[in-house]
Amino acid sequence: MSKRYQTKITEMLGIKYPILSGGMQWISRAEFVASVCNAGATGFITAESLEKPEDLKDEIKKMRDLTDKPFGINLSMVPEFGEPKRTLAFCDVLCEAGIKFVETAGRSPEPLMPVFKQGGVKVIHKLTSVRHAIKAEKLGVDAVTILGYGSGGHIGTENIASFIQVPLAIRELNIPIIAGGGIATGSGFLGALAMGAEAVLMGTAFFASEEAAIHDGIKQKLVETNVADTVLLLKSLGNPIRVARNTLADECLALEARGASLEEVITKVAGGKGKQAYMSGDAESSPLACGQTVGLVDAIKPVKQIIDDMIAEADALLDRLNAAIS
């Protein structure tokens, strides 16, 4: 029988394992998130995959038909400037539907906090620096996910590895800390808990799962991508995202190297290209967000097996450590 990994986060969210699947646009839809929840972890339906806030109502209903386990909503606020009207409309829907926790990302959750406090919604803010984590704690968020340099997607500009971020955050904060970025194994899971994290969050490991509703051509690309084959796009614009190296990424890097304008660079990567690639399987003409753990992906497995394998590995490591000290 598996060891029990009970933490402040399993207690706060009402889940079996302290494992979270970070929101992933287009991927984190009801069927996928339900598979994560039914395997003992939890995940977040990603609002930015939906056309309009009212669509979230249907997605939540679908989710409740697929699982009786707790799940959250991801609100990635990257594209919103000024008052986050669209995000606030999503907040109204999720509060009305009785959702108990959210993952916020991309910018400060400050304008959303009154709505969440009133609705009794726990806020897990995802960020990339201890500096921002301290600010988030002051705003009253309930937990933070701190991402390290190896993460997939937006990685911030501080370039600090998770193994440094987590202990630094532990020194500064009183709220629970979730370690994200670069975690995909039982050893990474246990290492994060040993450093004081109350849970881990993974993206890439679940992106490369059977349940991720993407074309096999993209899954094959993930299996074939080596650890050194991720690159950072949009660094020149101060907003780096980690993606798999492909033809599009090389073209984008060349543009950035010659000092191309913001518009030129953005047109290369924006406009729902990722979604098109997920459907067509063309792994070369779109940005494919993924972290350095892609180097650990050698097969596409069901979500439940990914989680069970991590827990089994962590159990075995704990036994080995206990034997070593007894």
Q: Quickly list H helices, 121-234.
A: 130-139, 162-172, 186-194, 204-207, 216-224
**Quick one: 48 or 137, whose CB is closer to ligand FMN?**
48
What Cα–Cα distance (Å) separates residue 2 from each residue in 6, 35, 129, 307, 308?
Answer: 12, 20, 33, 12, 9
CA angle, 35 as apex, 101 and 244 as ends, to 5°? 90
Q: Which is nearer to ligand FMN, 194 or 227 (CB)?
A: 227
* Closest approach of ligand FMN to the CB of residue 21, in Å: 8
Q: Least distance from C-beta 323 to ligand FMN, angstroms? A: 30
Closer CB to ligand FMN, residue 260 or residue 266? 266
Rounded least distance, CB 56 to ligand FMN, Å: 14
Contact 148, 182 (CB under 8 A): yes
Q: Which is nearer to ligand FMN, 199 or 202 (CB)?
A: 202
What residue ranges bind ligand FMN (CB under 6 A)? 22-25, 27, 46, 48, 74, 76, 105, 126, 147, 150-153, 180-183, 202-205, 207, 289-291, 293
Nearest to ligand FMN of 260, 301 (CB atom): 301
Q: CA 49 to CA 188: how far, in whole Å? A: 29
Shortest distance, CB of residue 167 to ligand FMN, whole angstroms?
18
CB of 77 to ligand FMN, least distance (A): 9
Rounded to a whole number of angstroms, the minimum distance from the CB of residue 324 to ligand FMN is 29
Q: How far is CA 186 from CA 7, 46, 146, 200, in A?
A: 16, 26, 19, 11
Measure the CA–CA gap between 239 and 320, rounded to whole angstroms. 42
Round to the nearest angstrom and report the end-to-end CA distance of the chain. Answer: 21
The pair of structure tokens assigned to 219 is 């899954």
Q: Which is nearer to ligand FMN, 68 or 277 (CB)?
A: 277
Q: Are 165 and 183 in contact (CB under 8 A)?
A: no
Q: How far is the CB of 289 from ligand FMN (least distance, A)?
A: 4
Provide the token pair at 162: 């998770």
Nearer to ligand FMN, 53 or 153 (CB): 153
Q: Which tokens go with 160?
A: 């600090």
Q: What are the φ and ψ backbone dihedral angles of 143, each rounded to 5 degrees?
A: -160, 160
Shortest Cβ 126–ligand FMN spacing (Å): 6
Rounded distance between C-alpha atoms, residue 72 and residue 22, angstroms: 10
Residue least distant from ligand FMN (Cβ) = 203
Place of tokens 């998130």: 33
Nearer to ligand FMN, 40 or 291 (CB): 291
Q: Return the amino acid letter for 144.
A: V
Q: In what order do the strands lie in the sheet with 153-154?
A: 153-154, 241-244, 230-233
